[in-house]
Chains A and B, each alone.
Chain A
Amino acid sequence: MGDKTMTAEEVVSRLESGMTLGIGGWGSRRKPMALVRALLRSDVTDLTVISYGGPDVGMLAAAGRIRKLVAAFVTLDSIPLEPHYRAARERGAFELTEIDEAMFMWGLRAAANRLPFLPVRAGIGSDVMRVNPGLRTVTSPYEDGETFVAMPALRMDAALVHVGRADRLGNGQYLGPDPYFDDLFCEAADAAYVSCERIVDTAELTKEAAPQSLLVKRHRVTGVVEAPNGAHFTSCAPDYGRDEAFQRTYATTPWPEFAARFLAGDEQAYQTAVREES
């Protein structure tokens, strides 16, 4: 069986400009930030990004890497409005497909199930229909005759997710309270890349954690990256909480200055700079 371990740089070398990229996590929670940082070090651009958005979107937007964003929100949670995302939107930096949180989930499920769409009772009556003129509706073929949004599948070329543990084969485990939608991102993508706090032997995975924690299955995974503190500064429960002080620094520092201070070097340089900051 194949050892799928690779570096973040190797992951990024498989991505190309113009791709559709899904990013797991939720808001400022368990985001694959080490992979996003590696992406920022590359020249990959012109991306369509699909995300329950947090600083992943903020950074990629600030760096001008997004051509189109698919999202229901972008937030830092404890800081409700993501300042770099806001600034990018207000200068019209990219195209936006704004959909509801549930529509987003059903779009992922449609993609994971190889369906063109799934019906969802959301969006109708709201301006989601106005700003997405391509959205179609579907009418129930049964007696009720209700009309739903036919939420199109959110297929993606690649997905990036970050979990607590993984083995070398790509079995990924979350140890926190919420899986978010990371398994669906992996299933909706042609290639899924899983970063983790620690790579362990397969037998280790269920030694102390329940089997239900095995969220991501190896048959959907192309690459596994060991990235300790790899969700920083977002949370990765139970290994660490959100680094609120650093998040404030991120939110209040002009992007060019933040990028120069923290993103000019490699991941190790980033982690060192973070330690020196605190």
Chain B
Amino acid sequence: MTEATSTPAVPVTRAEYCVIACAEAWRGEGEVLASPMGLIPSIGARLARLTFSPDLLLTDGEAMLVRPDGTVEGWLPYRQHLALVTGGRRHVMMGASQIDRFGNQNISCIGDWERPRRQLLGVRGAPVNTLNNPTSYWVPKHSRRVFVEKVDMVCGVGYDHAAAHPETARYHRIPRVVSDLGVFDFATPDHSMRLASLHPGVTVEEVREATAFEPAVPDEVPTTREPTAEELRLIREVLDPAGHRAREVGS
């Protein structure tokens, strides 16, 4: 394994840093269901399961609980999935058409709800997810259209709205938001969004430029960590050999 110690022959792509940043969401989560939505979060969840979070449960996207190689280990139809959510043993990573500084998320519609300019998916399970199990978010293209001052329709509950209902929101937690520019969390006194790490090659200015609100930025901004040689091998040879990740995040 001599080559494992040197820098990889093929440089790490932005998409691969995103995979690592997503996988890290599930570090230390134990024996819970990892529910990734989107391709890069899916690769990330399986990477976490194959490496540092071996107790994670995964689904096949339908009703089966499967090992990373596809071996069925359990049955989880929608009705049980929704019950599992309220039991809390799950960490979901959802998409966000809009997200604001307190982590309110919108996937329902753009514009006035009564008669939307653009109808999107609908609230789906965002309201139940955010009140019951940790909910992270994945944004493949960081822009001012997504990172907005105020979302048009609160689907996933953010920290400000959760604070207004302390009993009901006792299980509310947004561990992280991963975008193609960096990783964000809410580790600030007022739970507003903070830049937690920048992917290599991205500047704080780029983030500010692409964000409609002012995120908290620490004096020293860490860089998203490098994948290990084994992680890179798993991503490139096992989890996404066809390279679909580059379609979600270009280099």
Contact = CB atoms under 8 A, between A and B. Distances in A.
Contacts of B64: 177
A4 interface: no
Interface stretch (A123-131, A163-171, A221-229): A123-131
B108 A125 contact: no
Interface in B51-98: 62-64, 75, 77-79, 82, 85-86
A147 interface: yes
A181 B153 contact: no
B222 to A, nearest CB: 31
A120 B117 contact: no
A134 to B, nearest CB: 15
B150 to A, nearest CB: 11
Nearest to B167: A146
Residue of A90, A102, A147 contacting most chain B CB atoms (<10 Å): A102
Interface residues of A, number: 42
A117 to B, nearest CB: 16
B119 A127 contact: no
Contact of B115 (A85, A92, A101, A128): A92
A73 B121 contact: yes
A124 B131 contact: yes
Interface string B145-169: 0000000011111000110110111
A127 to B, nearest CB: 4
B127 A126 contact: yes
Interface stretch (A7-15, A74-82, A198-206): A74-82
Nearest to A176: B63
Interface string A75-117: 1000011000110011010000011111101000000000000
Given A178-B77, A180-B78, A146 B168 contact: yes
B168 A180 contact: no
Interface in B85-132: 85-86, 108-109, 113-128, 130-132
A193 interface: no
Given A100-B128, A122-B127, A126-B123, A90 B154 contact: no
A102 B125 contact: yes
B10 to A, nearest CB: 31
Nearest to B125: A101
A179 B120 CA distance: 26
14 contacts: A73-B122, A73-B124, A74-B122, A100-B123, A100-B126, A102-B86, A103-B127, A124-B131, A125-B130, A125-B162, A125-B165, A126-B126, A146-B167, A181-B79
Interface of A: 26, 53, 71-75, 80-81, 85-86, 89-90, 92, 98-103, 105, 120-128, 130-131, 144-148, 177-181
What are the 9 closest A-B residue pairs judged by CB atoms, nearest first?
A73-B122, A122-B128, A102-B128, A177-B63, A125-B157, A89-B119, A100-B127, A125-B161, A178-B63
